[in-house]
Structure 1
């Protein structure tokens, strides 16, 4: 009887356990098979632009200047996003660093701390995270508490960056598992940044395919690619790799969505998000959120029981302040917009879902104010000495009888850019060309500090491009710029360079003024005549690379054949150059002989 009793008890306990297990399995199956809503907010490429900035926008029937962006404002917008939505993910698609004095002074720590304050759910490495080499990136990551993902960037065993990031993370969101895989842009990082030799890079498409399969084998069917591979490359990944639900893109600084054209802004693609359909009927969506914390990308994704996105609701928003509006009066002075005119703009913004008044989040603002105060104090700190007077600014743009060498300060800055591009091994750079208008002052003998650097080069968003160009096209670029500077355009277009020198005359017409061009041969280090049929690698700034300031041919080359935007700003480049040299003298020559 005792044995029968024990057997019956055992059977009863086993049956009860089975019932519990069945109940749990049923519960789990229910949670993973029901429809699921995921709300994603994202930014990319804030590039140490921590403070708000001024920008003209068309708001209704008038163009006004507003305060836009700033990471304290972004923090508030993300806080509101989390409060107003369920099942949220907040992602950063890379390039947190490089671009302003905040990075130059604090070496990424200011960026890391404010990202910690925002509490991003994941961050992927951008190419500029490697600008200060492995050691600089380690300093940033040592402070950063946000999970970092990058599947195709792999440190060697023993590297100081070993185990600093993972290929992907899996987030459990209200019972649903979502995989976030990181991808880095390979070519640009290797050519335009400074990763150590102990860092290995792997193809973006193949790596994405590998890790999508790996997480699928773990039973996960909701997959996000957090990719700093650039918009075009990410569209390629979307087309070639099935199983990805969303690609959050970075690197290309693209503003997506035709709805932003109403604000007088140029968009790279009318679609936000961009939908890519696969043969199996499952879509992949691709998004990017401009740059510099100007915009918060937002979208709601509805998944069915199979983990397929069945509906998307998008709501990307420009983030602006509500207390600053300017217009130009008849005397070309800034005036405050008030009264009925301001009310009309406020009404327009409040009624438009793609632009939003956002105040600064108090804790992030307090954190930023501490760095801002320190930045202002450090701005007066010397980085080196200027030994001679080096002409620059508006009065020295074009060589003349009084100053036959013209803007030697522009030549000096070009030398610093060429030196930087050679240091990072940018595609065997041959020479650089820049416009005199980018240089705003004459350098006087004495201490050179951070504030002076940003006075000399105030356009912090002006970054360095590299491109391939034929010798014959170089001549036309110089002809365009000189003609524009002499015939009613801007005198600021007048060209100077490093690694290149030329002779030209004031007399003549477009196409006839440039008489002689020589380049400094990389192998022999001797000046040789430019070869009209040879293809060279040239550096320049993003402003004239877009065709502005009369650089028509240059703009057409970039538009038709493309170039590489390194997103390196000329300001920190020049600061680092002065730091390394310690003392700066006049350049030996402006590399321009101009017969006026």
Structure 2
């Protein structure tokens, strides 16, 4: 049986002879990193959907693996020629799920494209488990790079426990210097993925153990690479001694050295890098690079002989159309293009309005309204005789993956657009419950409400009206809730009654207790043969052009009352770059007091 031990990987082209530099030497390192690439193998629109001809002509296409490959190859070419420092390229998880490319080709295309980028290490993301354990094992096995996760408990999952390419940590040698990299994955994957037997340890003790092992091996440059969200990344940086850097993912956090950017929809949530002061005054840097291949994280570092950072500066690279695409990987994209173009270019409807995913985890959004309404509409149309009393539909905000907008009014909606929005393959279920359970689910919808690292369980609804008050304690935030009951004999919104019966449509993922909805697991259900995507495509065929608005079915009061904390660090930014000087050697990151590791889908 394989024991997950620290592995030593040597990059032959950049290391030979002794692995310890002479005393007094400094060590320069360029770190490039991505997270949450979500199957954006091809370039995307500004909102990370399908890049249309109109988008290309407007200069509004971004990212894609060929652009990532160009940046990585150019940096490595410079390092090899001596014109630039050694390069460490890292992937912080969630390569899976998000486009038709993955929907069709699954782990095989993910492994092919990640291997083409030749990362030095890859952490697992929660979406790597979207196809259950059987869907992630071949991905790990077929990657040329080591896959990292220190906090998995795999006693009941021998296929992962015995997988030779899955490590807790590794040591890489660059320019004769040892660099330790430790992986981690959010324990909330237990709620975010289809049910499986993988268990999770808290990230911090698991990372501490690996740090201790590496320090005993005289590894003094230590990086945590993982997928738990920005709030947890900050806690890791604050609590794990001897770490130098945390490279994270999961929350799609956009860090930027200015108050704003002309790009949309991203909004800066803090400086890049964000600095966290440990109890002894030591500074640990934390970075993420948004998502969907739109940016490449870039850090220029200088270490002293003891492995301490003496200089740290950088900024994410916007991978717009000014960045060339690597011809070799572009040829691989083109190999699949015929099949993908058929899907991505298939018109399924039109819209008069921007279909906005931003905020769907926090409040009512027009995209959530459209999806929930379409679920009810399709069921009433297709199965009215079988399910005449189904009057409620919900879809969680975390299931809605991206916005849709293209040039022109009305603009065309394609099948590819909607696969990007709704990439999951499970079907819908009709779940029967009483009013008590229904209210419990609504309370859960806002139990972890926060604007930073917002979680995925917020319900978008049809057939209900809800008023939440965030000034009230968790568990009593629903101040008014109306729904259409299933056995009342008429279709009318009325106050939810504890003993009334309600039939609610939802993704099977939620019916199985996903996103923390454990109150649904044992309830009577009927599993359907279709999902939200099928429902939406039918709706668009009937009602295009759509003009879906936010209509007040959900109201969230007192958002500002959710307690926020400023984490400040004074006077510790070493040689800030010009764009960051506005922080005057301090930084802020707004986080809620919910420092438990809540979920993102």
Structures share fold, TM-score greater than 0.5 = yes
Shift in Å, 1:499: 9.9
Is residue 2:152 matched to residue 1:156?
A: no
- Residue 241 of structure 2 corresponds to 242
Residue aligned with 1:263, SS: coil
State the SS of the aligned residue for 2:77. helix
SS in 1 for 2:36: coil
Task: Report the counterpart of residue 458 of structure 1 in structure 2.
Answer: 418
| Aligned equivalent of 1:81 | 75
Structure 1 residue 70, shift from structure 2 partner: 0.8
Cα distance in 2 for residues equivalent to 1:88 and 1:37: 9
Measured after TM superposition, the shift of residue 92 of structure 1 is 0.4
Q: Which residue of 1 aligns with 2:280?
A: 280
Measured after TM superposition, the shift of residue 150 of structure 1 is 0.9
Shift of 1:160: 1.6
Deviates more, 1:174-183 or 1:161-170: 161-170
Task: Quote the Cα distance in structure 2 between the aligned partners of 1:54 and 1:184.
Answer: 29
Whole-angstrom CA distance in 2 between matches of 1:455 and 1:520: 42
1:104 and 1:49 map into 2 onto residues whose CA distance is: 12
Contact 1:296–1:319 (CA under 8 A) maintained in structure 2: yes
Q: Which residue, out of 350, 371, 375, partners 2:340?
A: 375
Deviations for 1:85-118, whole angstroms, at most 9, x for unmatched residues? 3211000000000111111111121121111111
Q: 1:432 aligns with which of 365, 379, 394?
A: 394
2:39 aligned counterpart, secondary structure:
coil
Counterpart selection for 2:375 from 410, 417, 425: 410
1:310 matched to 2:301? The reply is no
The within-5 A match list for 1:170-569 is 170-187=171-188, 189-194=189-194, 196-197=196-197, 199-259=198-258, 261-265=260-264, 266-321=266-321, 357-376=322-341, 409-411=374-376, 432-433=394-395, 455=415, 458=418, 460-461=420-421, 469-470=442-443, 478-479=464-465, 514-517=493-496, 549-550=550-551, 553=554, 560=562, 566-567=600-601
Structure 1 CA distance, aligned partners of 2:499 and 2:419?
A: 28
Structure exhibiting the larger radius of gyration computed from Cα positions: 1
Note the alpha carbon deviations across 1:253-295, whole angstroms, 9 max, x for none.
0111143723144434221101112243432100000000000
Shift of 1:145: 1.4
CA distance in 2, matches of 1:201, 1:96: 20
SS in 1 for 2:276: strand
- Whether contact under 8 Å (1:56, 1:65) holds in the other structure is no
CA distance, structure 1, for counterparts of residue 176 and residue 445 of structure 2: 63
1:472, CA displacement in angstroms? 12
Question: 2: CA distance between counterparts of 1:434 and 1:95?
Answer: 19
TM-score (norm 2): 0.59
C-alpha offsets along residues 374-406 of structure 1, whole Å, 9 cap, x if unaligned? 33468899xxxxxxxxx99989xxxxxxxxxx9
SS, match of residue 410 in structure 1: helix
Query: Normalised by the size of structure 1, how large is the TM-score?
Result: 0.60
Of structures 1 and 2, the one with the larger relative CO (CA 8 A, separation 6+) is: 2
1:68 aligns with 2:62: yes
User: What is the CA distance between 1:171 and its match in structure 2?
Assistant: 0.5
CA distance in 2, matches of 1:498, 1:125: 42
In structure 2, what is the Cα distance between the partners aligned to 1:472 and 1:132? 25
Q: Aligned pair in 2 of structure 1 residues 79, 536: CA closer, same or farther (>3 Å)?
A: closer
In 1: Cα distance, 2:502 partner to 2:462 partner: 23
Contact 1:503 1:514 in 2 (8 A): no
Q: Which residue does 1:41 correspond to in 2?
A: 32
SS of the aligned residue for 1:285 comes to strand
- Tell me: CA distance 1:373–1:519, structure 2 relative to 1, closer, same or farther (3 Å): farther
The CA distance in 2 between the partners of 1:33 and 1:134, in whole Å, is 48
Aligned residues: 417
Unaligned stretches of 5+ in structure 2? 1-16, 49-57, 79-83, 353-370, 381-391, 401-411, 425-437, 447-458, 468-480, 505-515, 521-530, 533-547, 563-591
Conservation of the 8 A alpha-carbon contact between 1:480 and 1:550? no
Q: Give the CA deviation at 1:142.
A: 3.0
Cα distance change on mapping 1:115 and 1:463 into 2, 3 Å: closer
Q: Structure 2 vs 1, CA of residues 158 and 526 (structure 1 numbering), >3 Å: closer, same or farther?
A: closer
| 8 Å Cα contact 1:48-1:99 kept in structure 2 | yes
SS at match of 1:259: coil
Q: Deviations over 1:383-430 (max 9, x none)?
A: xxxxxxxx99989xxxxxxxxxx9974227799xxxxxxxxxxxxxx9
CA distance in 2, matches of 1:292, 1:373: 22
Residues 471 and 179 of structure 1: CA distance in aligned 2, closer, same or farther (over 3 Å): closer
Q: Provide the C-alpha distance between the structure 2 equivalents of 1:407 and 1:227, rounded to a whole number of angstroms.
A: 33
Q: In proportion to residue count, which structure has more helix?
A: 1
Separation (CA, whole Å) in 2 of partners of 1:123 and 1:229: 14
Structure 1 unaligned runs (5+)? 1-25, 58-63, 322-356, 382-390, 396-405, 416-429, 439-451, 482-494, 506-512, 529-534, 542-546, 568-596
Deviates more, 1:163-172 or 1:369-378: 369-378
Task: Summarize deviations over 1:424-445 as a string: whole Å, max 9, x none.
Answer: xxxxxx972589xx9xxxxxxx
Which is worse superposed, 199-208 or 291-300? 199-208
